[in-house]
């Protein structure tokens, strides 16, 4: 990334490249989560909120909060991804903007609407 994190404001729908450390392993792993926090939040905080992603072939038990970006989607090339990927809208993280290596692409608009709806649903009380 060529712009210092203090001057760079990611937007919802950006697919970023970052390295994360999992509690059950040593070292870090390269990941491509989707930014779900809005530009105003991202402008005023040192972190962004992201949704976990995984390659779709690794999904053995789909969840009702999953959204797939298929490599057959007409806007797939804009994502920067190399294969079909599932966004787990119920698995959210905060990532310090300084840990973002790059923005590799963006989620297609129609899928971003679904992602935002499912993220919000995670915080609503079920009745």
Q: Which domain holds residue 37?
A: 5-121
Q: What does the mean pLDDT of the chain come to?
A: 88
The total of structural domains in the chain comes to 1
**Mean of the pLDDT values across residues 57-74?**
89
Within 10 Å of residue 102's Cβ, how many Cβ atoms? 14
Kindly list the distances between the CA atom of residue 17 and the CA atoms of 21, 26, 41, 82, 103, in Å, as whole numbers in the listed order.
14, 19, 19, 13, 6
pLDDT, residue 4, reads 52
127 assigned to some structural domain:
no
| Digit-coded pLDDT (tens) for 1-21 | 444 555 667 899 999 999 887
Pick from 17-26, 29-38, 73-82: least confident: 17-26
Structure tokens at 17: 């490249």
More confident residue, 108 or 23: 108
108 assigned to some structural domain:
yes
126 assigned to some structural domain:
no
CATH number assigned to the domain comprising residue 35: 2.30.30.110
| Whether the Cβ atoms of residue 108 and residue 34 lie closer than 8 Å to each other | no
71 assigned to some structural domain:
yes
């Amino acid at each position: 990334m060529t712009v210092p994190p203090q001057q760079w404001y990611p937007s919802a729908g950006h697919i970023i490249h970052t390295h994360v450390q999992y509690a059950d392993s040593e070292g870090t792993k390269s990941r491509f989560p989707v930014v779900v926090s809005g530009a105003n939040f991202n402008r005023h905080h040192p972190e962004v909120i992201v949704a976990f992603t995984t390659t779709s072939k690794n999904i053995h038990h789909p969840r009702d909060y999953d959204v797939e970006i298929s490599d057959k989607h007409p806007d797939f090339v804009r994502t920067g991804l190399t294969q079909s990927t599932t966004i787990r809208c119920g698995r959210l993280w905060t990532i310090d903007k300084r840990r973002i290596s790059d923005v590799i692409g963006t989620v297609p608009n129609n899928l971003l609407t679904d992602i935002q709806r499912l993220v919000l649903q995670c915080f609503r009380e079920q009745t």
